[in-house]
């Protein structure tokens, strides 16, 4: 059976990197998209012939469109896309928040997600494919003044809307919603929290569900 192909944004580290490794292990090709060209090249070398490094900026629609087209040409199709790239804020809340940080975060967490969806949709229509998005536990509860949390509420709401749209052509959409994950997203290590590999396994679980079943959301939390 031929390998299917998964496009991953934010693939150079953390959840994106772990998902790339898990996907290749489970029989997928992967397109690795991120700004860090050196990290992508190293990861692609490690993963071998089933990985393609695609350096680019998730906040740029043309960059994502070009990357997806190159991926489709290289492997023959794009069967799934994972809008994973995202960032947080150094100042919590609204009153103490930094408007410039908000601007940068919204361009990545919201517009970057929209660009992945827009750029991937023609490919996913052809393959009756699967779109995944990284949401968050912060997008399921109210956190005092959290602008970051609000950006993840957008992901959860939009993911549900896209799932309805994709049903029209036999496609699927899944929001992957983890609690705190021990990744470079945080300045300090979080050894008792989720690991990127935990989230990656959730992505593979959703991807490999029987085509008749849409896993519309995977919500996972640290046990402690």
Which residues have a catalytic role annotated?
Answer: 148
> Do 222 and 193 contact (CB within 8 A), yes or no?
yes
What is the secondary structure of 113-175 as a DSSP string? HHHHHHHHHHHHHHHT-EEEEE--GGGTS--TT-HHHHHHHHHHHHHHHHHHHHHTTT-EEEE
CA–CA gap between residue 75 and residue 13 (Å, rounded): 23
Q: Say which residues have a Cβ less than 8 Å from residue 10's Cβ, sequence separation at least 6.
A: 16, 33, 34, 58, 84, 85, 86, 134
| Residue of 91, 81, 151 whose CA lies nearest to 120 | 81
Q: Say which residues have a Cβ less than 8 Å from residue 110's Cβ, sequence separation at least 6.
A: 151, 154, 155
DSSP state of 10: S
């Amino acid at each position: 059976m031929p390998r299917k192909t998964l496009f991953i944004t934010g693939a150079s580290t953390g959840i994106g990197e772990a998902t790339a490794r898990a996907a290749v292990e489970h029989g997928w090709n992967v397109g690795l998209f991120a700004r860090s060209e050196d990290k992508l090249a190293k990861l692609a070398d490690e993963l071998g012939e089933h990985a393609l490094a695609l350096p680019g900026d998730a906040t740029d629609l043309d960059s994502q469109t070009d990357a997806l087209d190159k991926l489709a040409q290289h492997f023959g199709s794009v069967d799934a896309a994972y809008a994973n790239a995202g960032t947080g804020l150094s100042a919590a809340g609204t009153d103490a928040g930094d408007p410039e940080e908000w601007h940068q975060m919204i361009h990545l967490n919201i517009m970057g997600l929209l660009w992945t969806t827009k750029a991937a949709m023609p490919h996913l229509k052809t393959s009756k494919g699967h779109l995944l998005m990284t949401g968050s536990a912060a997008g399921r509860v109210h956190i005092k003044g959290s602008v970051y949390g609000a950006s993840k509420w957008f992901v959860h709401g939009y993911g549900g809307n896209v799932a309805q749209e994709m049903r029209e052509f036999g496609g699927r959409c899944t929001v992957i919603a983890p609690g705190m994950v021990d990744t470079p997203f945080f300045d300090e290590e979080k050894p008792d929290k989720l690991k990127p590999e935990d989230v990656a396994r959730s992505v593979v679980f959703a991807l490999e569900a029987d085509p008749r079943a849409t896993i519309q959301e995977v919500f996972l939390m640290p046990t402690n």
